[in-house]
């Protein structure tokens, strides 16, 4: 069976969740292997697993784990830690992983806005292309403001719900 393919998970509810949630993440655009690893970390009691544990749970190679966790760390969805007294890496998903992932998108939006501003300045805001770029820039600026406000509301809601 190819790596990453969904398997019959029988009566194991954790494995069924991992594969179902990973499929949803894949449909949203995440690569399959990072999606499976992220879902496995979310579903683990500790929120942290070693490379060997991930490989065993998901029946994937060390190389597949390595590539997937590199992607997830670049996206700020997991962190790499060292197990105390060990050389083994521990990959952890934090309770604020969605905040971190959105905060990372925040910096991407800023870069896109900068590039769009340059494009509008270069093409002129009276040309059809310049107007299109200006509208796209306005959309991203709007999204940026909405994300900032939404994240503030989330922090207050999270504190209310979870005391953090």
Work out how many domains the chain is built from and give that number: 2
Q: Residue 49's domain is classified under what CATH number?
A: 1.10.10.10
End-to-end CA separation in angstroms for the chain: 43
Q: 85 and 17 in one domain? A: yes
Where is the domain boundary, 63, 92, 121? 92
Q: What is the pLDDT of residues 125-155, one digit of tens each?
A: 999 999 999 999 999 999 888 888 888 898 8
Q: What confidence tier does 87 reach under pLDDT thresholds 50, 70, 90? A: confident
Q: 88 and 18 in one domain? A: yes
Residues of the domain holding 73 = 13-92
Q: 83 and 104 in one domain? A: no
Residue 117 CB coordination number (10 Å): 14
Q: What is the pLDDT of residues 48-73, one digit of tens each?
A: 999 999 999 999 999 999 999 999 99
């Amino acid at each position: 069976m190819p790596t990453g393919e969904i398997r019959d998970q029988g009566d194991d509810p954790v494995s069924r969740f991992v594969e179902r949630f990973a499929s949803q993440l894949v449909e949203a655009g995440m690569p399959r292997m990072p999606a499976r690893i992220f879902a496995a970390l979310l579903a683990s009691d500790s929120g942290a697993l070693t490379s060997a544990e991930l490989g065993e749970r998901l029946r994937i190679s060390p190389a597949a784990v390595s590539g997937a966790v590199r992607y997830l760390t670049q996206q700020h969805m997991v962190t790499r830690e060292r197990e105390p007294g060990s050389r083994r890496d521990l990959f952890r998903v934090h309770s604020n992983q969605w905040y971190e992932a959105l905060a990372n998108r925040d910096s991407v939006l800023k870069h896109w806005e900068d590039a769009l501003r340059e494009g509008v300045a270069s093409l002129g805001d009276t040309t059809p292309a310049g107007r299109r770029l200006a509208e796209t820039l306005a959309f991203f600026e709007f999204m940026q403001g909405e994300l900032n406000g939404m994240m503030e509301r989330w922090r207050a809601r999270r504190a209310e719900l979870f005391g953090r």
